[in-house]
Chains A and B, each alone.
Chain A
Amino acid sequence: MGETNTKTESDFLLEIEDLHMYFGKVRALQGINLKIHKGEIHSVIGPNGAGKTVMMNCINGLYSPQKGTITYEGRKINRLRPYQRAALGMARTFQKVEVFGGLTVLDNIRLGRHLHYKSGILSGSIYKGKTSKEEIEHRGFIEEQIIDLLEIQHIRHKPVGMLPYGLQKRVELARALALEPKLLILDEPLAGLNLEEVEDMARFILDINEEERWKVTCLLVEHDMGVVMDLSDHVFVLNFGNLIIDGTPAEVQNHPEVIKAYLGEEDLYATRR
């Protein structure tokens, strides 16, 4: 923790203070406080029902918490709708893939880039000129930056609904990346993938985080402990809506509270490897 204390206020991309979220009598989040540092990979772990996805939805704007503040780049964003938060540079993927199955991979990625397109209803209906120029320009970006990075050249014209699950996850990541986000929220990016796909995905997450071109701050919810501990700079542990501990992977691994809450008496490395 010593290292994180030296950070200045501007190093925080997102701050959550005293976040409460209730669904009727169910207290999904009870006073979460956490800070997300620019340019680092953060993981949220915790047993099922701990409130991980609820927290993501609160950050993202899909749920509006009853109490607490969410500050993004020094600006309070509690009342912003999800699309407004996306405009601030927040992208996310979902636990169950929520791609647009009927559309091609390219169209999915183009949709992710929606905010960067400018053409409106008039120029769009004429198409010639402004819109067609813009389409070609962004096509170049999508092909060269995103499709190339995520290695999905061979499927660019295929409808996403027909692709295997692993590739769908990758398309979803591509779509989120097309937004050129500052904060990328990945809700279980590795769930349901085989070992090879997990390795690919982990590599992509590292690429996105470390490459000079992207430098995206990542916040991921994950159950695969091996990957979490290897990738993350910072780990948050949730249990029953409470933040038990936040710290570096090493700190978390040895924390008795975590072992008790999350892993029972078993070894921490309950990974598939």
Chain B
Amino acid sequence: MSTSWLPCGTYHQNYAEDQSLWQTKFIKGKMILLFAILFIGIPLWADNYWMSILNTIGYTILGALGVQLLIGFCGQVTLGHAAFIAVGAYTSTLLILEVPWPQALMDFGIAYPVSIVIAAITAGVVSVIFGLPSARVKGFYLILTTMAAQFIIVDFIITQYVSQIGGRGQAFSIPPEAIKVGPFTIDSDTKVYFMMLIIVILSVTIVVNLLRSRVGRAWVAIRDNDISADVMGINVIKYKLLAFFVAGFIGGLAGAFWISNLAAISPEHFPWFWSLWLVGVILIGGVGSIHGTIFGSIFMVVVMELLQLGVMPLADIYPKLLMDFLFIKEAAFGLAICAFMIFEPNGLAYRWWQLKNYFNLWPFSY
């Protein structure tokens, strides 16, 4: 899957060209067009409803990217990623609410960006701590130890202790004027959208770059065959923990970013089901593919939204549907995963690859 064909007549003259990310003028143009649509087209066209959906997609991408890195690229199955997102969100919130920032820093909008960075690093470190068992255990056992992260961090530490800080009760409400990046107060969906876009592009770039350099290759080696990775001089434990760090870092970014979209955060925002959901996203999108993370996130969010659009009108006839919608959503999630496992185990990314290759040759089949 890693190979795709270049158009006829594309010959590279040096190694730099051969291993560049965007190899032809056409691809470069396509990417520029994509960025233009993302940064200019969509904000012009989309209303608040679409913006909120896009923000949800961005949040899902950020969360799933860390899971993809661990499961898809490093082979460390994790089911506790929501905990690291929660660590990011809570660290950022507490830094904004509890630290007596000088008024100048608040005014210039430095407090929130700084808190995002600190939150991401904190989440990375916490992730490493819960990644430590990976030095000893693999597969199913690692799933359970990462699940422990969820229960220890969210259900115990955050619910029982962190939530008590400041005596605010279970939910921390975030004053809208506190979320300020530079001169911009993040108070509308459009502003959240731009912030989301920048953070998502940044994280995706980081992961893509890591994967084509030394660290990422070591991760893939560990995923494919840890014994021969060891023999080739890769310090397996170090690189596993590094993967946990980067995944936690991105999870922390996701959490810290997401508080800008929330009026208040509480432990219920980070249920264990969200960890499972993120794994579902990468299964549907395609394990071991950055495209897959993005496609999976778009698919899941859009399908759930369509489901809501489809089910809600029926609630007039059968009101109980309204109450049961959460369960319908979960059932649809389960069904989607089953269907993908049976009909397209390689995920949406593989379909995308097939489509691209088909159109590379189109209209001739040779």
Contact = CB atoms under 8 A, between A and B. Distances in A.
Interface of A: 60, 62, 81-83, 86-87, 91-92, 94, 98-104, 107, 110-112, 114-115, 117-121, 123-127, 131-132, 135-136, 139-140, 143, 157-159, 175-176, 179
A145 to B, nearest CB: 14
A114 B2 contact: no
Contact of B228 (A94, A102, A118): A94
A110 B217 contact: yes
B231 A111 contact: no
B224 A124 contact: no
B74 interface: no
A86 B2 contact: no
A82 B235 CA distance: 9
A136 B20 CA distance: 10
Interface stretch (B177-185, B206-214, B270-278): B206-214
Contact of A159 (B2, B230, B288): B2
Contact of B220 (A103, A117, A159): A103
B216 interface: yes
Contact of B209 (A94, A126, A175): A126
B225 A98 contact: yes
B288 A102 contact: yes
Contact of A139 (B19, B221, B227): B19
A-B interface, 4 closest residue pairs, ranked by CB to CB distance from nearest: A86-B233, A127-B209, A124-B213, A98-B228
A81 B233 CA distance: 9
Contacts of A176: 232
A111 B217 contact: yes
Given A100-B221, A102-B2, A114-B217, A127 B230 contact: no
Given A62-B231, A126-B209, A175-B232, 4 more contacts: A91-B232, A119-B215, A120-B214, A159-B2
Given A86-B232, A135-B19, A103 B225 contact: no
User: Chain A: interface secondary structure?
Assistant: helix
A83 B234 contact: yes
9 contacts: A83-B235, A98-B228, A103-B2, A111-B234, A114-B218, A120-B215, A121-B242, A135-B213, A139-B15
Contacts of A99: 225, 228
Point out which of B220, B227, B228, B242 has the most chain A C-beta atoms below 10 A from its C-beta.
B228
Given A81-B230, A104-B2, A121 B215 contact: yes
Contact of A107 (B14, B16, B215, B217): B217
A197 B18 CA distance: 30
A136 B15 contact: yes
B3 interface: yes
B15 A103 contact: no
A158 to B, nearest CB: 7
Contacts of A127: 209, 212-213
Chain B interface size band reads 35 or more
Contacts of A124: 209-210, 213-216
B359 to A, nearest CB: 20
B232 A159 contact: no
Contact of B214 (A100, A114, A143): A114
Contact of B210 (A86, A121, A175): A121
A241 B25 CA distance: 62
Most A CB contacts (10 A, CB to CB) among B217, B229, B234 go to B217
Given A100-B224, A100-B225, A60 B231 contact: yes
A103 B212 CA distance: 12
Given A121-B215, A124-B215, A136-B16, A101 B224 contact: yes
A92 B232 CA distance: 8
B222 to A, nearest CB: 10
B152 to A, nearest CB: 26
A179 B3 contact: no
B232 A131 contact: no
Interface string B235-249: 110000010011000
Nearest to A94: B228
B225 to A, nearest CB: 5
B237 to A, nearest CB: 9
A123 B214 CA distance: 10
A112 B232 contact: yes
Contacts of A118: 214
Contacts of A136: 14-16, 19
